[in-house]
Amino acid sequence: MNKNRKQTHFGIDPQTRQIVLGKWRIALPDSPLLRILLGSLLVFCGFLGFLPVLGFWMIPLGLIVLSHDIPSVRRRRRRLAVWWARWRGKANSSNGS
């Protein structure tokens, strides 16, 4: 069990319904409407990332929030996560030889 806690994880914890970004955890609202509104707002403001206060980091965070309630976004996020894990596995295995 300690091994799982030391690994960095990114996404949504299904038990606590929190966004997990490595060591940090951010609680999501209980209401699906508020989660969709928050995710949409993060994505929209992320597109304005060239402005001083906002940033492009808001886009992936908004997509993670939206993936909690919207199945099509969840499927795409999951495909990306699987692709990333496979790519990292291949990159790590080729570096070790």
Split at pLDDT 50, 70, 90, the class of 7 is low
Mean per-residue pLDDT over the chain, rounded: 81
Q: What percent of the chain has pLDDT over 70?
A: 84
Check residue 6 and give its pLDDT.
46
Check residue 1 and give its pLDDT.
44
Evaluate if residue 52 carries a pLDDT over 50: yes
Burial class (CB in 10 A: 0-12, 13-18, 19+), 18: middle
Split at pLDDT 50, 70, 90, the class of 75 is very high
Query: In sequence order, what are the residues at sequence separation of 6 or more whose Cβ sits closer than 8 angstroms to the Cβ of residue 32?
Result: 69
Evaluate if residue 37 carries a pLDDT over 70: yes
- Reference 60, options 4, 16, 14, 12; nearest CA is 12
How many alpha carbons fall within 13 Å on the CB side of residue 60? Answer: 11
